[in-house]
Structure 1
């Protein structure tokens, strides 16, 4: 295995199409609450609109030679963008600043799990998110049934805030201080 991590630009997101679509299939396979909601979720309906609406994006892909192994997509967006026709993801009044940070999509192909890829991608995402002085609140949304991801984020310092859509999504939240403390002692 020869893993490399590469930040790609917004206009290169097409490289994530297959990975993003695999993520939606994976999430549906784990879901026990309203799995049919994933039927309309794919690269074109999830990643493309999110990248276009965000103020700032970071997409990191992991390659094993020429094969894509995974990716993480994080963004900075106005807090109001998290209240839409699909759901209200958090109470905007509970956010101190006008923008929030979000680790929006995270996927690693099965054969690359358990090699530290997830921790490295998480670290790169948090490091990037913390560059923004005007962001104090960070969110991660975990689909129901994905208990492994939920526990991973909790070990990284995120706390369960609440559930939305009758338990379809668990909202995890952290502040800049808590996340920095949780990752500053790690050498990744």
Structure 2
């Protein structure tokens, strides 16, 4: 294993297409509440609209030699971005500023988990998010059934705020006073 991390510009996001689609299949395989909602979620319906709707984007790919084996996508968006036809992800009035940070997508191929890759990606994302002085609220949305991800983010200091869509998604937040 020869693991490297590369921050890529949004113009190169196409390199995440297969892993993003793999993430949606993985989430569906774990889900016990409305797994069919994942049938219409893929790179084109999740990643591209999120990138286009964000103010700032941050994408890191993990490579083993030339193969991309994981990625993380974080963004800064207006809080209104998270109230749409699909769901209202949090109480907009609970956010102190106009913008929020979100660790939006996070996926590591099976054989590369448990080697610290996830912690490295998480730390890179948090460092990037924290450089925006006007953003104090960070969110992570975990699909139902993905208990390992939920435990991981709790270990990293996030706490469960609430659930949306009848438990389909658990909303985690960095700032415990909002829970």
Per the normalisation by structure 1, the TM-score is 0.93
Unaligned runs of 5+ in 1: 177-188
SS in 1 for 2:137: strand
- What's the counterpart of residue 99 of structure 1? 99
- Aligned ranges 1:4-153 → 2 under 5 Å: 4-153=4-153
Over residues 89-126 of structure 1, what are the superposed CA-to-partner deviations in whole Å (9 max), with x where a residue is unaligned?
Answer: 00000000100000000000000000000000000000
Large movers: runs of 4+ above 6 Å? none
Superposition CA RMSD, Å? 0.9
Over residues 22-57 of structure 1, what are the superposed CA-to-partner deviations in whole Å (9 max), with x where a residue is unaligned?
Answer: 000000000000000000000000000000100000
Q: Distance in 1 between matches of 2:134 and 2:115?
A: 34
Q: Distance in 2 between matches of 1:131 and 1:110?
A: 31
Over residues 135-154 of structure 1, what are the superposed CA-to-partner deviations in whole Å (9 max), with x where a residue is unaligned?
Answer: 00000000000000000000
Q: Distance in 2 between matches of 1:30 and 1:78?
A: 30
SS in 2 for 1:136: coil
Over residues 52-94 of structure 1, what are the superposed CA-to-partner deviations in whole Å (9 max), with x where a residue is unaligned?
Answer: 1000000000000011110000000000000000000000000
Per the normalisation by structure 2, the TM-score is 0.97
Unaligned runs of 5+ in 2: none
SS in 2 for 1:85: coil
Number of residues paired by the alignment?
A: 176
Q: Distance in 2 between matches of 1:39 and 1:131?
A: 35
**CA-CA distance at 1:175 after TM superposition:** 3.2
